[in-house]
Amino acid sequence: MPNEGQEVSRGARRPTWKWLLIALGVVAVGLLMFSGGVYVWEYTNSTAFCGTVCHTMPPEYTAYLTSPHARVACVDCHLGQENILYAFPRKVAEVRHLADVLTARYETPIYVRNLRPARFTCEQCHFPEKFSTDRVREIQHYAEDVGNTEIITWLMMKTGGGSQREGLGKGIHWHIENEVWYLATDPLRQQIPYVRQVDADGKVTEYFDVESGISPEFVNQDSENLRRMDCIDCHNRISHQFQSPDHIIDQALARYQIDRDTPDIKEMGIKLFSVQYASHDEAAQAFEELDSWYQTNYPDYYAENQAKIRQAIDKLKEGYRTSVFPDMNVGWQAHPDNVGHSQFPGCFRCHDGKHVSADNTTIRLECNICHTIPEVYEAGDRAPVINIQKLNEPASHRDTNWLAQHRFQFDTTCMNCHTVDNPGGSDNSSFCSNSACHATEWKFVGLDAPKIRELSAPPKVPSTGVPNPVPHPIGSRTDCTVCHGPEKVRPWPENHAGFTPDMCTTCHQPTLEETAPEPAVQPGGTGTPPAIPHELAGRDNCLLCHDPAGNVKPAPQDHVGRTAETCQACHKPKA
């Protein structure tokens, strides 16, 4: 029989299995909590949760599904691709949005307040030092006319990039390789009055918008809001694209999702999109009225093409449903897209021609910095020839104010490189009548800013209260309308329309007299060839002005067939 001490010892060992069960229970609960936490973390990081659970996100989710990043998780951009130790605190800080949604304490449209810098998001997949070669882009546009006339624009995009140490760092992606800072004065960063560039040697160049009235003192006081330019400053809508009505319809016509022969479909689609509807259902009813409109206005076409009209209506309804969300005040105009410069300022936020430095240099505003000069033609025309590189570019073209200056410096020397028919026009008959340049109202460009005109326009002839004098000689062959008239180099006032050269000289008198011509060479070989009254540098192609069949200063008819070289064998410049 065990003694008392032995009984006490066995009694003390009895609870051991209970502690073991408790420990196992704790471990099990911990594993369940850990597994549940992992599941919750993964689920709340999923695209489905971000896009469908929250009732404020349908616009962004719909746009995301058709974006180039449709297979990139939302959190990769909004939290950044970092480990959980860094991502978790940031996610916890955003829990306040849950309270805002539950209490409807938010304003529409909803804008992102703070994204992670591109180096933690974009550059985790896209290598910033990668160089991209130029690529051709074809832009199909359709006019708002009965036949939906197709207009095609070709250009070469100079994406560039790369590292300067490799002799690259060029093109559009120059902005990533180089250090550029800017100050925006609005939440959507559409107004940028100040830009600072720091070159490889540490030299700082500051550019101020001459119309903004912003001062260096203001920039210094607000310096904490300076932002260094990165990918998102241009590609801000890369994952949530809300297309404009013009783009939606053009795209549908280009892909034959809407038949191009449907009369007036582009114009009618634009009109329907421009109306503000209270809901998608109301918009759908309005688009359905196109059926009766075609039945009334194009009965013959309607009788034979009801299926095409139905297809067009359905496609327009789909385009509206995926780009406009009335309940959230979201549409293509609510979210500026900074790629390009047609619908929104985009590139022109800085490259608008009116950001000027202390030495009067301007942030360059030229088409061929980012792409070649657009070539425009209509369907059926022969595709244009795109010059990849411009050779022998004169020094004037490299001036940072050249785009503002070129209208004031247009003369016969332009014909050495360009066709110049209908200068300033938009019929695409020549280089100088390019509709891609002159047929668009570039409302985000500041070429007419008073300060820019002061920098680019030549001095005006002083006026003393009488008609302005003519700052050049007037001869018997002078034709004022060559330079003066609607859409010419120096347009005359509107009340001068229809004036003839002899009427011009009734009021406007020359300040210089035309010198008497030197004796011409006689048929028998006597006489002295007239001297050339100007320098030959840049004006050595005699036939531009002195072609016997021309109208500027034609050479004698017996000079037909002569070349610039034979001209200069006899005619020499004045000393």
Which domains are assigned to the chain?
26-120 (1.10.3820.10), 155-236+340-438 (no CATH), 245-328 (no CATH)
**367: confidence class by pLDDT, cuts 50, 70, 90:** confident
- Residue 126: φ, ψ to 5°: -95, 120
245-254 vs 265-273: helix crossing angle, rounded to 10: 150
For residues 532-545, give the mean pLDDT. Answer: 76
What order do you get walking across the sheet with 375-378 strand by strand?
Answer: 135-142, 150-157, 375-378
**Residue 522, pLDDT above cutoff 50:** no
pLDDT computed for residue 401 by the predictor: 86
pLDDT for res 514: 60
Mean pLDDT of 7-31: 71
Mean pLDDT computed over 340-349: 92
Distance between CA atoms of residues 397 and 392, nearest Å: 10
Banded pLDDT at 498 (limits 50, 70, 90):
low
How far apart (Å, rounded) are the C-alpha atoms in residues 557 and 331?
A: 66
User: What does the angle CA 136 – CA 68 – CA 174 come to, to the nearest 5 degrees?
Assistant: 55
Tell me the whole-structure pTM to 2 decimals. 0.72
Q: Enter the tokens of residue 353.
A: 């021609």
Q: Which two tokens stand for residue 395?
A: 């020094």
Of the pLDDT bands very low, low, confident and very high (cuts 50, 70, 90), residue 354 is: very high
Strands 131-132 and 160-161: antiparallel
Ranges of H-type helices in 516-556? 543-546
The set of long-range contacts for 410-414, using a CB threshold of 8 Å and a minimum separation of 24, is 410/489, 411/489, 412/539, 412/544, 412/545, 412/552, 413/538, 413/539, 413/544
Q: Which of 28-42, 256-270, 469-483, 509-523 has the highest mean pLDDT?
A: 256-270
d(CA 420, CA 482) in angstroms, rounded, equals: 12
- Please say if the pLDDT value at position 97 is more than 80: no
Average pLDDT value for the chain: 83
Confidence of residue 495 (pLDDT cuts 50, 70, 90): low
Which candidate, 82, 344, 119, 371, places its Cα nearest to that of 231? 119
Q: Are 150 and 379 in contact (CB under 8 A)?
A: yes
Predicted confidence band of residue 479 (pLDDT cuts 50, 70, 90): confident
User: Which phi-psi region, left, alpha or beta, contains residue 3 (left: φ > 0; alpha: ψ -120 to 50)?
Assistant: beta
**Mean of the pLDDT values across residues 461-475?**
68
Mean pLDDT to the nearest integer, 308-337: 94
Q: Of 148, 202, 76, give the one whose Cα is nearest residue 379.
A: 148
Per-residue confidence (pLDDT) for residue 3, from 0 to 100: 52
Per-residue pLDDT band at 524 (split at 50, 70, 90): very low
Opening angle at CA 228, ends 222 and 229, nearest 5: 130
The closest alpha carbon to 200, from 164, 231, 168, 160, belongs to 164
The whole-number pLDDT of residue 272 equals 96
**Residue 547 pLDDT grade (very low, low, confident, very high; cuts 50, 70, 90):** confident
Query: Rounded to an integer, what distance in angstroms lies between the CA atom of residue 488 and that of residue 483?
Result: 6
Contact 156, 390 (CB under 8 A): no
Q: Which long-range contacts (CB under 8 A, 24 or more apart) does 333-338 make?
A: 334/109, 334/242, 335/109, 335/237, 335/240, 335/242, 336/188, 336/190, 336/236, 336/237, 337/236, 337/237, 337/241, 337/242, 338/189, 338/233, 338/234, 338/235, 338/236, 338/237
CA atoms of 208 and 326, how far apart (whole Å): 38
pLDDT for residue 463 is more than 60: no
The yes-or-no verdict on residue 234 having pLDDT over 90 is yes
The pLDDT > 90 percentage for the chain reads: 31
Distance CA 204, CA 357 (A): 11
pLDDT score of 11 more than 90: no
Where does 349-426 have alpha helices with state H? 367-370, 402-405
Please say if the pLDDT value at position 520 is more than 50: no
pLDDT, one tens digit per residue, over 279-300 is 999 999 999 999 999 999 999 9
Q: How far apart are CA 493 and CA 553, in angstroms?
A: 27
Q: For residue 150, what are its two tokens?
A: 């197709």
Looking up tokens 């307040």 gives 113
pLDDT tier at 96, thresholds 50, 70, 90: confident
What tens digit of pLDDT does each residue of 127-183 get?
888 888 888 899 999 999 999 999 999 999 999 888 877 778 788 999 988 999 999
Grade residue 88 by pLDDT with cuts at 50, 70 and 90.
confident
User: Could you tell me the pLDDT band of residue 465, with boundaries at 50, 70 and 90?
Assistant: low
Please give the pLDDT value at position 255: 94
| Residues in Cβ contact with 446 at an 8 Å cutoff, skipping those fewer than 6 apart | 209, 210, 211, 352, 353, 354, 452
Of 174, 180, 262, residue with least CA distance to 227? 180
User: What is the structure's pLDDT at 459?
Assistant: 60
SS3 state of residue 408: coil
pLDDT of 8 over the 50 cut: no
Name the residue type at position 189: R
SS3 79: coil
Nearest-angstrom CA–CA distance, 295 and 290? 9
Average pLDDT over residues 293-321: 95
The share of the chain scoring above pLDDT 70, in percent, equals 89
